[in-house]
């Protein structure tokens, strides 16, 4: 590691352990990692989450002290805080409860371009071993209009819940019960394709925002998924690709238009891998409501976006981070024909 991008952590060096304080209503996602002195470890880190490293478990026998060095974009905090020592030049004492809380505040430009190392010392501060962790940081966010102002803001803290009232929050989803075609006699929700731009106006917009290297490290993938019960109530379509947006003249052909808005999730497809585009990216998705709330359906549906980590051969990938959004299906409201109207709105 380049010394210009590293520093030593002693008990009096607290400026490097700062991290943002979480909102009272928002919990930080934390993941535990294990390091080893025999082999360098690698990890994919999601910005806004924490990595917990139990440094005592990876310590060689007779270890009494330790020090930490890392890239400038990596932050960490030692818990419990090291006790003051008479000699301030001595590294922190290692205890059975010593852990590191590791965070990163920006996405990586390249895979494993950040580094953290823990060096262990004996009684006379002789070096016994070094555990190394190579890190790749990515930003991942599944976003909806959670505050109902018409804007799909990034990482609204209320996107994963729903509350009624003027001070409430949560995204709203309409049932696509009209018909965009004059000659068809069935609702749009009965067709599992987007065949007109006007059909998108009956759906709720959802954005997948990502930032990071050109591609995820080998074996990692992004997957969008819903439950079997929610699949009876919604469909999810992916928005037009950049190349499709530049080829709008082709869209007079139905088959080309449909390809621009592929079906991602439905009753037949509960989970599907979605692309990680690299760099800073925003991809539109459109959620279609299929049924109104009733005695068997409260109107709430959840869509999840998970980052999957490869495991042993023959075993499925493990989710190491999941972001979710919640929609409530707008109810069917019908007034009786005997009720006198207060205002009448017309348009042409």
25-49 pLDDT per residue, tens: 456 789 999 999 999 999 999 999 9
- In this predicted structure, which of 20-24, 158-162, 225-229 has the lowest mean pLDDT? 20-24
> Quick one: 298 and 191 in the same domain?
yes
**79 inside domain:** yes
**46 inside domain:** yes
> Quick one: 247 and 277 in the same domain?
yes
pLDDT at 258: 58
Name, in order, each residue with C-beta under 8 angstroms of 250's C-beta and a sequence gap of 6 or more.
256, 257
Q: Are 206 and 303 in contact (CB under 8 A)?
A: yes
Confidence of residue 3 (pLDDT cuts 50, 70, 90): very low
Q: Are 325 and 206 in contact (CB under 8 A)?
A: yes
Closest listed residue to residue 307, CA positions, set 280, 274, 277: 274
Q: Among residues of the chain, what percentage have pLDDT more than 90?
A: 66
256 phi, psi to nearest 5 deg: -70, -35
User: Among the three residues 89, 122, 138, which one is the final residue of a domain in this structure?
Assistant: 138
> Quick one: 111 and 156 in the same domain?
no
pLDDT at 5: 34
**285 inside domain:** yes
Confidence of residue 348 (pLDDT cuts 50, 70, 90): low
Question: CB 179: neighbour CB atoms within 10 A?
Answer: 16
Question: d(Cα 121, Cα 98) in Å, to the nearest integer?
Answer: 14
**32 inside domain:** yes
Instruction: Give helix then strand counts, H and E, for the chain.
Output: 4, 17
Task: Find the domain containing 148 and state its range.
Answer: 144-329
Longest alpha-carbon distance in the chain: 92
Choice between 104 and 5, residue whose per-residue pLDDT is larger:
104
**342 inside domain:** no
> Quick one: 132 and 163 in the same domain?
no
**348 inside domain:** no
> Quick one: 66 and 123 in the same domain?
yes
> Quick one: 272 and 168 in the same domain?
yes
User: Among the three residues 138, 161, 179, which one is the final residue of a domain in this structure?
Assistant: 138
- In this predicted structure, which of 113-117, 202-206, 318-322, 334-338 has the lowest mean pLDDT? 334-338
> Quick one: 282 and 149 in the same domain?
yes
Here the CATH number for the domain that contains residue 119 is 2.60.40.1860
User: Among the three residues 138, 154, 170, which one is the final residue of a domain in this structure?
Assistant: 138
In this model, does residue 92 exceed pLDDT 80?
yes
pLDDT at 314: 80
> Quick one: 53 and 178 in the same domain?
no
Q: What is the mean pLDDT of the chain?
A: 85
**175 inside domain:** yes
CA 227 to chain centre: 18
> Quick one: 130 and 150 in the same domain?
no
> Quick one: 159 and 280 in the same domain?
yes
In this model, does residue 17 exceed pLDDT 50?
no
Choice between 238 and 346, residue whose per-residue pLDDT is larger:
238
pLDDT at 346: 78
- In this predicted structure, which of 66-75, 273-282, 333-342 has the lowest mean pLDDT? 333-342
> Quick one: 182 and 243 in the same domain?
yes
Question: In whole angstroms, how far apart are CA 214 and each of 109, 211, 218, 275, 344?
Answer: 8, 9, 12, 11, 54
Confidence of residue 316 (pLDDT cuts 50, 70, 90): confident
pLDDT digits (tens, 9 = 90+) for 244-303: 444 444 444 445 555 688 999 999 999 999 999 999 999 999 999 999 999 999 999 999
Instruction: Report, as an integer, the average pLDDT of 119-123.
Output: 95
- In this predicted structure, which of 114-128, 191-205, 210-224 has the lowest mean pLDDT? 191-205
In this model, does residue 132 exceed pLDDT 70?
yes
Question: d(Cα 251, Cα 318) in Å, to the nearest integer?
Answer: 39
In this model, does residue 151 exceed pLDDT 90?
yes
Instruction: Report, as an integer, the average pLDDT of 98-121.
Output: 96
**338 inside domain:** no
> Quick one: 116 and 155 in the same domain?
no
Domains held by the chain: number: 2
* CA dihedral of residues 229, 260, 138, 152 (deg, nearest 10): -70
Here the CATH number for the domain that contains residue 312 is 2.60.40.1700
Confidence of residue 60 (pLDDT cuts 50, 70, 90): very high
H/E run at residue 75: strand 74-79
pLDDT at 64: 95
């Amino acid at each position: 590691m380049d010394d210009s991008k590293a520093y030593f952590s002693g008990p009096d060096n607290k400026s490097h352990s700062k991290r943002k304080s979480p909102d009272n209503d928002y919990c930080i996602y934390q993941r535990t990692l294990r390091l080893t002195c025999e082999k360098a470890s690698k990890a994919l880190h999601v910005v806004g989450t924490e990595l917990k490293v139990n440094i005592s478990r990876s310590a060689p026998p007779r270890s009494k002290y330790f020090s930490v060095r890392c890239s400038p974009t990596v932050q960490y905090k030692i818990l419990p805080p090291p006790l003051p020592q008479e000699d301030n030049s001595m590294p922190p004492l290692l205890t059975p409860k010593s852990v590191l809380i590791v965070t990163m505040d920006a996405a990586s430009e390249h895979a494993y371009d950040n580094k953290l190392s823990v060096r262990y010392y004996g009684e006379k501060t002789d070096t016994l071993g070094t555990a190394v962790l190579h890190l790749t940081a990515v930003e991942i966010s599944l976003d909806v209009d959670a505050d109902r102002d018409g804007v799909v803001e990034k990482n609204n803290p209320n996107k994963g819940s729903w509350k009624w009232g003027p001070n409430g929050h949560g995204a709203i989803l309409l049932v696509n019960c009209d018909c965009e075609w004059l000659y068809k006699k069935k609702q749009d929700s009965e067709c599992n394709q987007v065949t007109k731009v006007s059909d998108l106006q009956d759906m709720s917009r959802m954005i997948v925002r990502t930032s990071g290297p050109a591609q995820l490290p080998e074996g990692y993938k992004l997957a969008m998924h819903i439950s079997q019960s929610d699949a009876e109530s919604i469909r999810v379509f992916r928005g037009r690709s950049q190349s499709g947006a530049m080829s709008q003249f082709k869209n007079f052909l139905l088959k080309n238009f449909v390809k621009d808005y592929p079906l991602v999730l439905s009753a037949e497809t509960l989970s599907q891998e979605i692309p990680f585009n690299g760099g800073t990216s925003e991809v539109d998705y459109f959620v279609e409501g299929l049924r109104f709330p009733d005695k068997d359906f409260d109107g709430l549906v959840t869509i999840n976006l998970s980052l999957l980590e490869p495991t042993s051969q023959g075993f499925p990938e493990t989710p190491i981070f999941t972001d979710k959004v919640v929609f409530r299906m707008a109810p069917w409201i019908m007034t009786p024909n005997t009720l006198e109207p207060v205002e009448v709105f017309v348009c042409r």
